[in-house]
Each structure stands twice: as structure tokens, then as C-alpha cells.
């Protein structure tokens, strides 16, 4: 069966709060993810919350990459939806490198599964 997209959800826990507080470190992390799995970034948007925490979205040719952080809980939620395959293990390595945690849960979701009769 063919699928139209692949959606990955990462629950990222036990991160040092300092790495999740501000836009500059989250932007650098998101850039690394996009580059690491060869995504085409069309635009970026971030919101810095007070006193800390960040939400960020990358609009991609392939779909979207987003994150929301809760520094006070050492937690971030990362979401990537793409119409092309990506290597989730590469993203896991980037999370380790940039957010300094081993506590990561990954949930893959196949989107738009088509059977042979529906493919035009």
C-alpha cells in the first residue's frame, strides 16, 4: 500500500531547562533537524513566551516541522509531517546532541494510506 505522508511525534523529556527556554537555541535545534533529514524550509515562525518557553513552526515544501517547549518541566513536543521518507534515528541523534537527553519517545504515524484501487 502507498501512503501520502509520514508523521513523527517525539516526546522529549528530562532536558536541561536552559536549552528549552529561548528562541535562539530552539531555532538552532530546528535548523539542525531540517538539515539533518534534508527538508526544504520555506519559512520559519517562532513565539518566545515570557518568562520563557518557545513555540516554533517551519513551513516545509514537504509539509511542516513544529515544536513547543515547557522548560519548567524539562519537556518539549516535536512534530514532523512529511510527504517524503525521513530517518527518525537521525532526528533522535540530533535531539541527543542539542537537547542533551536520552529520554525520548517516538511515535510514527502513516498518513493517507491508499490501496491500489484509489491510486490514480
| Given the residues 15, 68, 82, 98, the one annotated as active site | 68
Cell triple for 81:
509531517
Given 43, 61, 63, 98, the catalytic residue: 63
Active site residue 83: yes
| Catalytic residue selected from 7, 25, 66, 83 | 83
- Could you tell me if 69 and 53 are in contact, meaning their C-beta atoms sit under 8 angstroms apart? yes
Q: Is 89 a catalytic residue?
A: no
Q: Is 15 a catalytic residue?
A: no
Could you give the 3-state DSSP secondary structure of residue 15? Answer: coil
- Residues ≥6 apart with Cβ < 8 Å to 50: none
Residue pair 104/18 in contact (Cβ under 8 Å)? The answer is: no
Non-local CB neighbours of 68 within 8 Å, separated by 6+ positions: 53, 54, 55, 56, 76, 77
Q: Which residues are catalytic?
A: 63, 68, 83
Amino acid at each position: 500500500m502507498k501512503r501520502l505522508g509520514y508523521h513523527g511525534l517525539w516526546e522529549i523529556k528530562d532536558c536541561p531547562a536552559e536549552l528549552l527556554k529561548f528562541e535562539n537555541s530552539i531555532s538552532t535545534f530546528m535548523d539542525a533537524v531540517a538539515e539533518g533529514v534534508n527538508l526544504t524550509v520555506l519559512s520559519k515562525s517562532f513565539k518566545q513566551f515570557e518568562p520563557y518557553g518557545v513555540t516554533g513552526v517551519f513551513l516545509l515544501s514537504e509539509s511542516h516541522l513544529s515544536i513547543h517547549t515547557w522548560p519548567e518541566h524539562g519537556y518539549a513536543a516535536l512534530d514532523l509531517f512529511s510527504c517524503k521518507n525521513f530517518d527518525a534515528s537521525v532526528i533522535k541523534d540530533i535531539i541527543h546532541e542539542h537537547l542533551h537527553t536520552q529520554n525520548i519517545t517516538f511515535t510514527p504515524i502513516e498518513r493517507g494510506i491508499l490501496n491500489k484501487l484509489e491510486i490514480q
